[in-house]
Structure 1
Amino acid sequence: MAGSVNPSSDSSPVPIWVAYLGLVLTPLFWAGNAVVAKGAVGEIPPMSMSFWRWIIALAILLPFGLPGVLRQRTVIRQHWRSILALATFSVGAFNSLLYLAALTTSAINIALINATIPIMVALLAWLLLGDRTRPLQALGIALAIVGIITVVARGDLAVLTGLQAQAGDLLMVLAVSSWGLFSVLLRRQAVPLPPLTFLTVQIATGALVISPFYLTDLLFISGGFELNQSTALPMLYFAIFPGILAYGFWNHGVHRIGPSKAAIFMYLTPVFASVLAGIFLGERLGPPHLVGGALILAGLVLATRSRKVH
């Protein structure tokens, strides 16, 4: 996921169907991120997932992104505070919280709560930037919040009143809030860098932000993980598919068809996650998932129809 850009005139030599295919694959990769994290979290500590995912992604990107970083080093020095803030809330916090959430909640819950990112962006833009909120958008935000509460409470009001919500669900709310802050800051503190250069610097800075937390976890808590086939494959997946490819497909899709149309494809994330979690993890949709998911979907449709988000 990444900040939006204005769609260009359709003069790209790449066929438009490639953009649509990429926008279908992007939520599939994001859903896979939740499912693979849930499946691997018993062998790979969450902070190791987060740190090594971005180190691998950086190693793959660096040969392509480093020349631009060197050319733009003056701009990078001028905007280092903005870059640090943006990298902290996106690369640093978002996936770290998501992987921590996988310890105590289901892949389906992760995907459902993650799908509310456009709602969180709209809510924070209203609170922090004073963006105008139309009645239809406010209704959409309210419905989505009720949907999140339904999923977190698992259909039992006592879960909320007794403060018994799964820690992972609450961590996912924090993760979504972190991405919302990133999106709002991206509008307020845009960094004038080419996309590949910005992504390279963003990942490198985010990895530095994660590193002290990873080292603390490695030395005093988890002890890291053993590198073998069952751990190497998930790490490669995290770096390549929901990392580099999803970012690239999302940016290209937004560029070709516009942010409001591209945002609709985010609705596929919980659908894909439900299927993948059922196949690989044996998770099943229950009534709270269906009711909460329907409310979240209705809220997303209303909110994104009334304004462009993400």
Structure 2
Amino acid sequence: MPTENAGIVSRMPGLAYIGLVLTPLFWAGNAVVARGTVDSIPPLSMSFWRWIIALAILLPFGLPGIWRHRQVIRQRFGSMLALATFSVAAFNSLLYFAATTTTATNIALINATIPIFVALLAWILLGDRTRPIQAVGIGLAIIGIATVVARGDLSVLTGLQAQPGDLIMVAAVFSWGLFSVLLRRQAVPLPALTFLTTQILLGTLVILPFYLTDLVLFSGGFDLSQDTALPLLYFAIFPGILAYGFWNHGVHQIGPARAAIFMYLTPVFASVLAGVFLEESLGVFHIIGGLLILAGLLLATQTGKRAGYRIKDR
């Protein structure tokens, strides 16, 4: 974008708010579209081709930066590979696997607890000080997750009868938490576009052997048609590239603390979209679990030391 246009955008904070509203809408759409198409596109195919498309779009813009900063990338290759594995490769692949056996609403509710996992892992791995009010918030959010996973029935947990997709989604959120904490510990001094393009490139290479194994031995891939191509384009463009750009612009304009509040819209949008397009209905356990998660997020993220994560891609 030309400098003069960038200056105009920076003087229009209203655009930042619009982008921050659209970002959770795109993330919610990621869960809903995945749930609606997972019978047509295997999860690993969904993850792999999403990033191939995103890479094809970004590479012409990001490749010059990769070349200019090749020395930094070479020196920090191990760190960047670990970051790409936990974010681009693991998080998204696990999310799409979760969509095979749980609802889009559950995915979005569990996904909303990412700040909790970041705070918890930052306390365990980085020694961040956790105040009592933050600990209460983390506890409430964990109870909220358990309520959603158990579907309001304690015997589901005690009898180990939880939906596999809910547990896989917890693993996905844990993976993103590890990425966020590692990003703080092993920060890589690269421009945003160069970092994102490199992460997608490395993450796609990590997914590749798993995708090929699944293609040959298990799923057999999918038939390319309008019904499968359009969801893949959505995954690549909207929750990937556009949400990333909107989020980072919003954080720059209004600050990370205020921008983080917009994350709470994701399960709201997801429940509405899932009700309209997938005919999913909200249960009492969704409402109770969602309120507990929301209360936990408010307590854990607005008091004390910030977890300090940035969302790169989802």
TM over 0.5: yes
Unpaired segments ≥5 residues, structure 1: 1-9
Does the 8 Å contact 2:9/2:15 carry over to 1?
A: no
Deviation at 1:270, TM superposition (A): 0.2
Offset of 1:13 from its aligned partner? 3.5
The Cα offsets for residues 236-295 of structure 1, whole Å up to 9 and x where unpaired, read as 000000000011111111111111111110000000000000000000100110000000
Paired residue type of 1:173:
V
Are 1:69 and 2:49 counterparts? no
Which of 267, 271, 287 is residue 270 of structure 1 equivalent to?
267
- Identical columns (%): 76
Cα distance in 2 between the residues matched to 1:173 and 1:141:
14
- Pick the aligned partner of 1:129 from 126, 131, 151: 126
Q: What residue is the counterpart of 1:22 in the other structure?
A: 19
Q: CA deviation at 1:116?
A: 0.2
Aligned equivalents of 2:273, 2:206: Cα separation in 1: 31
- State the match for 2:216 in structure 1: 219
User: Counterparts in 2 of 1:1-310, with a 5 A limit?
Assistant: 13-307=10-304, 308-309=306-307, 310=309
Runs of 4+ in structure 1 deviating by more than 2 angstroms, as ranges, are 10-14, 307-310
CA distance in 1, matches of 2:9, 2:115: 27
Letter of the 1:181 partner, please give it: L
**Does the residue aligned with 2:231 lie in a helix, a strand or coil?**
helix
Name the CA distance, whole Å, in 2 between partners of 1:174 and 1:73: 32
Letter in 2 for 1:262: A
Tell me the distance in 2 between the aligned counterparts of 1:48 and 1:11.
Answer: 40
State the Cα distance separating 1:14 from its structure 2 match.
4.3
| Cα distance in structure 2, aligned partners of 1:146 and 1:50 | 30
- Counterpart secondary structure, 2:302: helix
RMSD: 1.1
3-state SS of 1:226 partner: coil
CA distance in 2, matches of 1:11, 1:225: 44
User: Deviations for 1:2-32, whole angstroms, at most 9, x for unmatched residues?
Assistant: xxxxxxxx99644101111111100000000
Q: So what's the TM-score if we normalise by structure 2?
A: 0.94
Partner of 1:5: none
Which amino acid letter does the alignment assign opposite residue 214 of structure 2?
D
Q: Look up the equivalent residue of 2:52 and give its one-letter code.
A: I
Query: Is this contact kept in 1: 2:10–2:253, CA < 8 A?
Result: no
Q: Match of 2:312?
A: none
TM-score by length of 1: 0.96
Taking the aligned partners of 2:239 and 2:10, their CA distance within structure 1 comes to: 25
Could you say which residue in structure 2 is the equivalent of 1:7?
A: none
Question: Take 1:88 and 1:248, find their aligned partners in 2: how far apart are those partners?
Answer: 21
- Once the two structures are TM-superposed, the CA of residue 137 in structure 1 deviates from its matched residue by 0.7
How many residue pairs get aligned? The number is 301
* CA deviations over 1:166-191 (Å, ceiling 9, x no partner): 00000000000000000000000000
